[in-house]
Amino acid sequence: MEASQAPARLAVCECLTAFGGTRDTLAAMLRGERALRLVPALGNEGGDDAPMALLSGRSLDEQSPPAWLAPLRRFLAPVCGPGWGTARHPVIVTSSNFGVGSLHAYRRAHALPATAETAAAHARYGPIHKSVAVLHDACGWGANITVFSHACVSAHLGLVHAGRLLALQDNHGRALVDEVLVVSYDFLSPFVAGGFNSLKILNAEFPAPYMDRPASAIGLGDGAAYAVLARDRGEFQIAAQSLHNEMHHFTANQPDGSGFVAAFAPIVRAAAGMRVWVKGHGTGTLEAGRLESAAVAAAFPGAPLVSWKGALGHTLGSCGLVELAIAAASMRKTAADSPSLTPGTVGSSAPVFTPEVATAPFDNRAFDGIVCASNAFGGAHAALLLRHA
């Protein structure tokens, strides 16, 4: 039995954002639209206004059942059913938030004796294993569900592990896994927005990733996505993946940018001879934006760099998969004489940190690969190289 890694194909990849599904999200971003609106960070309890992009009709305060559950179930309909979650068709679930909004709602309701029943209702959706169980029940999957939670690189871990599962063979060289479903979901709540606000990285400004301006600003967004990874079907392949954890500081990168360099190094080797553009992490914080854009310019000279968190907000643990779905959709082959457009860095304008930062949509037909990168607490980095199969 062996587990040598071969490129995995991206058979399906779709996302759900405040704009809607993948197609609607891509179209809105190409129009330069921003889904972010100012919302009190503590929901009904008030607090400072901060930019957030919530699913249509959803409020920040959690309900029971969670208001995001039904739209998530509808979004996942193409990958529901007992065919997934088996030994040969495993499911990987990733998130940073899971059901933390329900835990916050439980705590609030529990403080008031008159709402004890309400509190109990929230408790069913709170911890990670219950949140995943609710999703499992809603989707009718089997029990083979692996769960990763590594803040904002969570979805990348799912993609890496999926590739490794696909490579598993028995002693006769027969594959043990046919296809892998990776699902990621992160929905906002006062738990998350209040936490980021307490870290002083949320304010009433809208994010402008990679823009050279006086102050940082980030936005947060609801997001979910799924991908089916396969060996032999799909327009795109994940040609390489890379992980690196700086372990320098909980909320800061190594000041010399060495973490970005280490994460990009395997991708640079895999992309040798290719013309790539880069979908960066770009939350809108100045220090990390400077480090990332400089590292991208050095690793992939001349490659356009975009971030989409100025439009979608930061979809946290799901951002890697949400943004991968948009990147892949923008690269789908079109008629030879029609442009194939990739959204620019919505919300940003000159001056930007490097000349490669694309603030407007660009025609991607000149490129044959995409580098998608994400970062997280603890100086965690993840990157992948997507190309046509």
Partner 1 sequence: MLERLIQTIRTDDAGSEDIAATRERLKAAFPPGAARRMTQLGMLMSAIIGELGPRSDDAIIYATQFGEGRTLENYLESFPTPSPTGFQSSIHPGAVQQGMIRRAQPVGEFFPMADGGCLAGHSILAAFLSPAPCVLLCGGEERGSWLTSIDSASSRAYAYGMILLPKDNAASALQPAGSIVMEPDAAEATPLPPGDWFDLLHARKNFSGVIAPGWRTTLSWR
In the region spanning residues 76 to 95, those forming contacts with partner 1, defined by CB under 8 A, are 85-88, 90
Q: How far is the CB of 386 from partner 1 (least distance, A)?
A: 20
The dihedral through the CA atoms of 367, 288, 55, 100 has a sign that is: positive
- Residues 104-123 within binding reach of partner 1 (CB under 8 A): 104, 106-108, 120, 123
User: In the set 80, 176, 274, 389, which binds partner 1 (CB under 8 A)?
Assistant: 176
User: In the set 56, 251, 334, 349, which binds partner 1 (CB under 8 A)?
Assistant: 251
User: In the set 18, 378, 385, 387, which binds partner 1 (CB under 8 A)?
Assistant: 378
- Residues 277-316 within binding reach of partner 1 (CB under 8 A): none
Q: Which is nearer to partner 1, 5 or 349 (CB)?
A: 5
Q: How far is the CB of 87 from partner 1 (least distance, A)?
A: 3
CA nearest to 213, candidates 270, 289, 291, 111: 289
How many Å is the Cα radius of gyration of the chain?
20
Distance CA 285, CA 76 (A): 32
CA nearest to 182, candidates 330, 384, 387, 388: 384
Return the HEC string of 302-364: CCCEECCHHHHCECHHHHHHHHHHHHHHHCCCCCCCCCCEECCCCCCCCCECCCCECCCCEEH
Q: List the alpha helices (DSSP H) in the chain.
A: 22-30, 69-75, 100-110, 116-123, 128-139, 154-167, 190-198, 258-270, 286-299, 309-312, 319-330
Which of the ranges 55-63, 227-235, 327-335, 370-378 carries the binding residues for partner 1, by CB under 8 A?
Answer: 370-378
Q: For residue 170, how many other CB atoms are within 10 A of its CB?
A: 10
- Residues 186-205 within binding reach of partner 1 (CB under 8 A): 190-192, 194-200
Decide: 321 and 159 in contact? Cβ < 8 Å: yes
User: In the set 127, 175, 212, 274, which binds partner 1 (CB under 8 A)?
Assistant: 127
- Residues 13-52 within binding reach of partner 1 (CB under 8 A): 42, 45-47
> Residues for the chain: how many in total?
389
- Our finding on whether 182 is near partner 1 (CB under 8 A) is no
Q: Which is nearer to partner 1, 126 or 344 (CB)?
A: 126
- Our finding on whether 362 is near partner 1 (CB under 8 A) is no
Contacts of 310 (CB under 8 A, 6+ apart): 34, 36, 206, 207, 208, 209, 219, 282, 284, 345, 346, 347, 348
- Residues 219-248 within binding reach of partner 1 (CB under 8 A): 243-248
Q: Which is nearer to partner 1, 96 or 307 (CB)?
A: 96
Q: How many residues bind partner 1 (CB under 8 A)?
A: 74
User: In the set 13, 54, 69, 100, which binds partner 1 (CB under 8 A)?
Assistant: 100
- Our finding on whether 1 is near partner 1 (CB under 8 A) is yes
User: In the set 39, 103, 155, 357, which binds partner 1 (CB under 8 A)?
Assistant: 103
- Our finding on whether 250 is near partner 1 (CB under 8 A) is yes
- Residues 146-175 within binding reach of partner 1 (CB under 8 A): 146-151, 157, 161, 164-165, 168, 170-171
Decide: 28 and 326 in contact? Cβ < 8 Å: no
